[in-house]
Amino acid sequence: MKRIILTNKVASTLLFLGSVLFSSLAAAAGGGYPLDSANIDPTDTASLQRGAKYYQNYCAGCHATQYQRYERVADDLGIPHDLMMENLVFDKRAKIGDLMFNSMDPKEAKTWFGATPPDLTLVSRVKGGPDWIYTYLRTFYEDPSRPYGVNNKVFPDVGMPHVLLELQGIQIDTCGDSDPNARDPLTGEKLCGLTVDPERKGSMAPAEYDQMAYDLSNFLAYSAEPMQQQRKSLGIYVFLFLAVFLVFAYLLKREFWKDVH
């Protein structure tokens, strides 16, 4: 009887720990806000090239991708080295073979933003994946209580300013305290959500902006696993080799067992 009680206790403790772990993981992934799927495509080179361009123009000033080299990005994405250096690398001391550092002093950055901009090489593997980044870039909204006047739905109280504000315009949250997932029972349309304030539109239409967020998410997913495409094409050769090898293995087996049977 005692033993049963003990195991019950152990089981409930485990269950409790498990649920704490799970809920903190879920909170880290999206703060409960539903993630939109980016459906990224690592074979879409044009999108990756655009992603690299946007990344270098709008993100690399604060964030490093220091586990990646300019040369590798140029070669993988089919960008000629001279074009890469002229148009996408703004640190004029940098060389094509350099790691993609940035020149921001982490201490000063902490004073400015309250947090140091983290390295983004692997961010798509540690946060909730490309979908998280896609949703993150699209869910900045006006919040006068925050230092930069904006907040974010999947990263509440984020230290990063809305750096794409002039492209997207300022979004307002029409939900307030009501459920952001609520839908009209008849039409199935969302009842509230984030919409760009018609008075303060950005230079991009919403669909264009989404495309840009997609390109950036695609690029950061590539950056976290640049070998992905090579690995897949190598895999096909491995299977072909195994298929050919099977024929010889079978013939050899027949030869060996000929005299036994």
Residue numbers at the binding site for ligand HEC (CB under 6 A): 58-59, 61-63, 113, 115, 117-118, 120, 123, 127, 133, 136, 158-161, 163-164, 216
Alpha-carbon distance of 52 to 61, in angstroms, equals: 13
* Shortest CB 73 distance to ligand HEC, Å: 15
Instruction: Provide the sign of the torsion angle of the four alpha carbons 96, 98, 101, 103, taken in this order.
Output: negative
Q: Is 111 or 187 the residue whose CB approaches ligand HEC more closely? A: 111
* Shortest CB 12 distance to ligand HEC, Å: 33
* Shortest CB 30 distance to ligand HEC, Å: 12
What's the helix, strand, coil split of the chain in %, to 5?
Answer: 50, 10, 40
Please answer whether residues 65 and 120 qualify as being in contact, where contact means their C-beta atoms are separated by less than 8 angstroms: yes
Alpha-carbon distance of 50 to 38, in angstroms, equals: 16
Q: Is 79 or 158 the residue whose CB approaches ligand HEC more closely? A: 158
* Shortest CB 155 distance to ligand HEC, Å: 6
- Helix residue ranges per DSSP H, 60-204: 70-76, 81-83, 106-113, 123-126, 129-138, 165-168
* Shortest CB 219 distance to ligand HEC, Å: 9
- Residue 49 makes CB contacts below 8 A (sequence gap 6+) with 77, 78, 79
Q: Is 70 or 132 the residue whose CB approaches ligand HEC more closely? A: 132
Position closest to ligand HEC via CB: 59
Q: Is 74 or 120 the residue whose CB approaches ligand HEC more closely? A: 120
Q: Is 67 or 191 the residue whose CB approaches ligand HEC more closely? A: 67
Q: Is 127 or 153 the residue whose CB approaches ligand HEC more closely? A: 127
Alpha-carbon distance of 189 to 181, in angstroms, equals: 10
Using DSSP, state whether 98 is helix, strand or coil.
coil
Alpha-carbon distance of 15 to 21, in angstroms, equals: 10
Please answer whether residues 123 and 154 qualify as being in contact, where contact means their C-beta atoms are separated by less than 8 angstroms: no
* Shortest CB 27 distance to ligand HEC, Å: 13
Q: Is 117 or 169 the residue whose CB approaches ligand HEC more closely? A: 117
* Shortest CB 164 distance to ligand HEC, Å: 6
Q: How many residues does the chain have?
A: 261
Greatest alpha-carbon span in the chain: 89
